[in-house]
Amino acid sequence: MYHILFVSLKLLLQRRRQSLVSTLGVAIGVTAFVVMSSLMLGFQKHFIKQVIDLDAHISIKPQFNYDEKRILSKVFRGNVIFEILGAKPKEVRDRIKGYRAIMKRYEGKEGIRGIAPHLRGNAIVRFGPKDVPVNLFGIDPQLEGRATSIERYLERGNLRKLYVKRNGIILGKLVARDLGIKNVGKKVIVIAPNGVSQIFEVIDFFNSGITTIDKSRAYIHLRAMQKLLGRPNEVNELVVRVEDVDEAVRIARKIEEDTGYDAQSWQEAYSNFLQLFKIQKTITYLVVGAILLVSAFGIFNILMMTVLEKQRDIAILKAMGYSSRDITLIFMIQGLLIGVVGIILGSVSAYLTQEYLSSVEINLEGLLRAKGFILDRSFLYYVGGALFALSFSFVASVYPARRAARLNPVEIFRSGGV
């Protein structure tokens, strides 16, 4: 086996420049795979974690299914073909009836960690001359902590204070920024759609890092919200936290069947983002695959040129007793050596690139806000990059190796081969 490895290295080193270029191609492909996976999946995992921790795993809301043909269908009982060109929507009360019974039914049930009521609505928050529209959430501070991870994102941890101070309000960090509020204790006016207004005191800031949420959300006590909207003892949403987030869809379907209300899992609520992430992954791996494919063509080119130029040497080796299997191994090892060296260089380069990116401090504000790049430093990306590179190197080596193994030494000597 040592003599096969020696011959492989000898042939490879005779084409140093081409071998170096192919090795660098593999290294660049591995680096791109690891770094792009780290950046892409780091962002995706961080976003999903924030969403799962922040919002409900399952949200139970009233259904607004409206059949425009229901009246005509009852009158004509299917004997007439008709088309509805326009109809006035049915007025449906945005509330969950018997929500306390539903909460009691599912509280402590297997797979469910907590359930809490919400009364949601739109409002205007006014501070001095500035008005900011917000999605206002009326919550029960005692139950909210078990159903969501809101406390993790409060800058001062004053969720319990909301239970004592019924006129307290928790503002999204960017809502407070737009209003010009930097400290707690400030008084703001909350104006409901029905024209009712009330003064609230800012007791905390909500900073999730998700721009769209921090720029539009505020929390007050459930009772204060019911009073503000003139909806005593009403809620229009129940939020459920489950033990296993991957089971959210199944549990949501069960709740929907049991209650008749619309139960939406977090996967359904953020399906657009999840689809976007899938497309992003596909594009990333296509780009990396193209880089590795180019490097594979480089390996293929080196081996094919070696086979064509070294036909006489291959014939001599066969005449000395080297079998077709040995010749195949000589050229396969050359391709794999290029792949292995490229993987080592690419892994070192990827690690150094990750170290650099993690040290860069820049303010990123888009879908997420961060002080720098969000990286997922997983060893599995190195394994995946290595497997991809080895696979391409192996495939690129197969044809030249088989071509070399099929050479007939008698014909080469008779024709005076090179």
Helices 99-106 and 248-259, interaxial angle, to 10°? Answer: 140
Tokens 């920024």 — which residue? 177
Q: Is 267 left (phi over 0), alpha (psi -120 to 50) or beta?
A: alpha
Identify which of 377, 384, 395 has the alpha carbon closest to the alpha carbon of residue 346. Answer: 384
Give the range among 156-170, 173-187, 307-321 with minimum mean pLDDT: 307-321
Q: Is 117 within 8 Å of 143 (Cβ atoms)? A: yes
More confident call, 376 vs 80: 376
Cα–Cα distances (Å) from 337 to 9, 130, 288, 350, in that order, read: 9, 67, 20, 20
Residue 137 pLDDT: 93
320-378: pLDDT as tens digits: 777 777 777 777 877 888 888 889 999 999 999 988 888 877 766 656 666 677 788 88
Cα–Cα distances (Å) from 394 to 225, 281, 292, 379, in that order, read: 66, 25, 12, 23
Question: In the predicted model, what is the mean pLDDT of residues 261-286?
Answer: 82
pLDDT tier at 134, thresholds 50, 70, 90: very high
Residue 73 pLDDT: 60
More confident call, 77 vs 262: 262
pLDDT > 70? residue 21: yes
Residue 227 pLDDT: 92
Residue 85 pLDDT: 59
What phi and psi values does residue 175 have, to the nearest 5 degrees?
A: -65, -45
Residue 122 pLDDT: 92
Long-range contacts, 156-163 (Cβ 8 Å, 24+): 156/184, 156/203, 156/204, 156/205, 157/204, 158/184, 158/203, 158/204, 159/204, 161/203, 161/204, 162/203, 162/219, 162/220, 162/221, 163/221
Tokens of 3: 């003599």
Question: Which residues, other chains included, contact 1 with Cβ-Cβ below 8 Å and sequence gap of 6+?
Answer: none
Tell me what the pLDDT averaged over the chain comes to: 81
Domain definitions of the chain by residue range:
2-52+273-415, 63-260
Residue 92 pLDDT: 57
Question: In the predicted model, what is the mean pLDDT of residues 382-404?
Answer: 82
Tokens of 380: 């599995």
What phi and psi values does residue 255 have, to the nearest 5 degrees?
A: -65, -40
